[in-house]
Amino acid sequence: MAKGRSTSGILLSAAIFILLEVAAVALLHSSSQLQSIWLNRASHHLIGWICGTSDNIRSYFNLRERNHQLEEENAILSEQIRNYREMQAQDSARSSFCAPAEGFTYIFAKTAKISIGSQHNHVVLNKGYADGVSERCGIITNQGVIGVIDAVDRNYSYGRTLMNPNTSVSVKVDDSEIAGPMVWDGKSTNRALMRGVPLFQKLHEGDTVRTSGYSSIFPAGIPVGTVEGSTTRNGATQDVEIKLFQDFSAVDYVVIVRNEDREEIDAIEKRGMANDKR
């Protein structure tokens, strides 16, 4: 509104100036024909200059207003494109994910934050107890295991990732009875170790490793990686080196898995352990 008043004031001043000039020209017009011709030309040039300047001023303020409108339109379009791409990525994650295991609830989520540069890495997800998430739920993708939920708020949850020495996942090698706990190798974003495998167990490079289902957190059969080799540990067991399918430097959408029978399983396990101590 202030810009409009400023423009109107400039135009009014210009109009008054023109009237005064015309009056002066009228007074001088009778003095001589030569002066009259000269003054007429001068006044025409002056009027042209004032009109041109007024148009430029008007165009300047109109251009600023139009630029502001374009900035707002671009911001709206950018937000719509971002939302569309996010919906596409989530739909792609849903369509590529394996069939849900019986007895598990699957909750799709997006990473709000993930760390990969420390010894105790974690992930924050954009789903919480309002979405059905609880502590000790598993976190997976169609590429493998991400971690375990440790804390839950209304709209967000916090989990330890596999890249954390306090996280262990029970896994099994395809077409064999070889199973054991899988832990992070402590160095890479896509390497892990299956510890405690007896030396007499023979593995082959390229064998697929999957979740065993021997815990109440993860369903069985989720592919996590392939065997790369092994190293002897303490002369009695071997650590199997696993190349993970999921690179933790590229985690975006995940699936939170909740075992609907976990509370009952945990309760009976506690009762059994209490009986053993008697």
Digit-coded pLDDT (tens) for 81-130: 555 555 555 555 555 455 556 788 899 999 999 999 898 999 999 999 99
**Domain 104-276 CATH assignment equals 2.40.10.350:** yes
> Tokens 């009778």 sit at which residue?
30
Question: Has this prediction a pTM greater than 0.85?
Answer: no
72: which DSSP letter?
A: H
Q: What is the rounded distance in angstroms from the CA atom of residue 183 to the CA atom of residue 194?
A: 6
Record the tokens describing residue 271, joined without a space: 């009762």
Is the pLDDT at 47 greater than 70, yes or no? no
The amino acid sitting at 71 is: E
Q: What is the CA radius of gyration of the chain?
A: 37
Confidence class of residue 26 from pLDDT cuts 50, 70 and 90? low
Domain boundaries, the chain: 2-91, 104-276
| pLDDT for residue 97 | 55
Residue-wise pLDDT tens digits, 230-256: 999 888 899 999 999 999 988 988 999
| Inter-CA distances, 216 with 75, 100, 266, Å | 46, 15, 8
Is the pLDDT at 13 greater than 80, yes or no? no
Q: What is the rounded distance in angstroms from the CA atom of residue 27 to the CA atom of residue 21?
A: 10
Instruction: Count other Cβ atoms within 10 Å, centred on residue 261.
Output: 10
